[in-house]
């Protein structure tokens, strides 16, 4: 009967605890381990071999890693174990005349071959940039023997800030797992049925690897309102001039602005062509608006969007851009004041004519 004694029985639980206690640092991708000294009670009489090598888990991102600012996406990451046994040495001089020793050596080497298996892998994704936020916690990925990859990738949700500049953003995937560090075997006697009272002691250690990954925020155009000029009053009509600035990283061509004129505005002229705009440049759109006479004098918001052609020749539509427009009381716009000035001038002229005529008549009478 074979008795197998395992140390570190609950590997996934221990890995989760270690992952919480020891956050990721700037480790190389090679496996790092904790203290590997054998405990005193792990001591059977025979330890024939010391084996070198172990798991080597690598990660690759599945699919495209280029996204737009403001995106919330799910990253799929595949894991593969490329671990190998790099060598071994004999700890004791074997007794080749003993069938028991030979069979114990063979049995130990069979167990030692399992050293390359990564057991209970736990993966955690981290971002050092405030523009990329990882929303998912650590993911359990199961165990991988050498040459094996996951049946389905581990998934992490990330959020890219709407203010993220274009460029590449590094991520770190920390992978923690258990692996078989050492095996010792022992038995009482060798018979035709095998080794009697065979005992196998397995000691598991914890390894960690960090895989650098990255996501890319694509260059794109972005717009903001740089200036608004309007003389609009309740019951009147006039021109709305809006200067749009390209605050993105990509030039646009054949851009057209479209507004949504809701109450109290109306228009038959809701589109304005503004042409090409390079990053940092502005272009003005002009609209003719009519204001309902019942409009309350205050500041209103008009929604606008820009349809344009990007550098790849693809048609794009911007996010909604709000235009803040003030409606003046009837008679207080520039055109109203001009009308009042004209009327006032006419009244003054008529007054002067009246006074001058009176003086002329008075002079003749005298």
Radius of gyration of the chain (CA): 40
8 A C-beta contact, residue 213 and residue 61: yes
The CATH number assigned to the domain holding 106 equals 2.60.40.10
Q: Give the range with max mean pLDDT: 26-30, 72-76, 333-337.
A: 72-76
Structural domain count, the chain: 2
Nearest-CA neighbor of 127 among 169, 189, 176, 175?
169
Tell me: pLDDT of 336 over 80.
no
Q: Give the range with max mean pLDDT: 1-15, 37-51, 344-358.
A: 37-51
φ and ψ of 238, to 5 deg: -175, -170
The DSSP output letter for 300 is E
Mean pLDDT of 312-334: 88
8 A C-beta contact, residue 55 and residue 178: no
Tokens 């200036």: give the residue: 227
Give the pLDDT band (50/70/90) at residue 22: very low
H-helix or E-strand containing 189?
strand 189-191
8 A C-beta contact, residue 180 and residue 115: yes
Does residue 261 share a domain with residue 166? Answer: no
Q: What is the pLDDT of residues 239-286, one digit of tens each?
A: 999 999 999 999 999 999 999 989 999 998 899 999 999 999 999 999
Does residue 18 share a domain with residue 44? Answer: yes
Does residue 300 share a domain with residue 202? Answer: no
Q: What is the pLDDT of residues 150-209, one digit of tens each?
A: 999 999 999 999 999 999 999 999 999 999 888 777 666 666 566 666 677 777 889 999
70 assigned to some structural domain: yes
Q: What is the pLDDT of residues 61-104, one digit of tens each?
A: 999 999 999 999 999 999 999 998 887 776 656 555 566 666 66
Tell me: pLDDT of 44 over 60.
no
8 A C-beta contact, residue 14 and residue 140: no
Q: What is the pLDDT of residues 280-322, one digit of tens each?
A: 999 999 999 999 999 999 999 999 999 999 988 999 999 999 9
Does residue 238 share a domain with residue 104? Answer: no
* pLDDT score recorded for residue 274: 97
Tokens 């480790």: give the residue: 27
Residue 189's domain comprises 3-217
8 A C-beta contact, residue 78 and residue 110: no
Encoded tokens for 334: 């520039």
């Amino acid at each position: 009967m074979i008795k197998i004694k395992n140390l570190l029985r609950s590997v996934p639980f221990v890995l989760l605890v270690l992952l919480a206690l020891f956050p990721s640092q700037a480790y190389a991708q090679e496996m790092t381990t904790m203290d590997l000294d054998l405990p005193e009670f792990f001591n059977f009489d025979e330890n024939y071999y010391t084996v070198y090598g172990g798991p080597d888990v690598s990660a690759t991102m599945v699919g495209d890693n280029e996204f737009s600012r403001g995106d919330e996406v799910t990253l799929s990451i595949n894991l593969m174990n490329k671990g190998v046994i790099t060598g071994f040495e004999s700890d004791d001089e074997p007794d080749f005349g003993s069938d028991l020793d030979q069979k114990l050596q063979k049995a130990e080497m069979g167990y030692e071959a399992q050293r390359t298996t990564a057991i209970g892998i736990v993966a955690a994704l981290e971002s050092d940039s405030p523009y990329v936020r990882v929303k998912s916690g650590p993911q359990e990925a199961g165990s991988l023997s050498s040459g094996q990859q996951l049946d389905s990738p581990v998934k992490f949700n990330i959020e890219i800030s709407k203010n993220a500049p274009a460029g590449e953003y590094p991520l770190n995937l920390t992978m923690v797992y258990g692996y078989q560090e050492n095996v010792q075997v022992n038995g009482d006697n060798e018979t035709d049925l095998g080794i009697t009272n065979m005992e196998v002691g397995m000691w598991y250690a914890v390894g960690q690897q960090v895989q650098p990954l990255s996501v890319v925020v694509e260059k794109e155009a972005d717009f903001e309102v740089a200036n608004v000029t309007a003389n609009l009053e309740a019951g009147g009509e006039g021109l709305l001039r809006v200067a749009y600035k390209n605050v993105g990283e990509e030039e646009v061509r054949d851009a057209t602005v479209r507004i949504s004129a809701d109450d109290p505005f109306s228009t038959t002229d809701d589109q304005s062509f503004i042409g090409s705009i390079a990053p940092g440049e502005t272009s003005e759109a002009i609209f003719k608006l009519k204001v309902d006479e019942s409009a309350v004098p205050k500041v209103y918001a008009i929604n606008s969007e820009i349809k344009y052609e990007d550098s790849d020749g693809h048609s794009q539509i911007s996010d909604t851009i709000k235009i803040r427009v003030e409606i003046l009381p009837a008679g207080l716009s520039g055109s109203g004041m001009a009308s009042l000035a004209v009327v006032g001038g006419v009244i003054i002229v008529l007054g002067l004519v009246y006074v001058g005529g009176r003086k002329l008549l008075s002079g003749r009478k005298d």
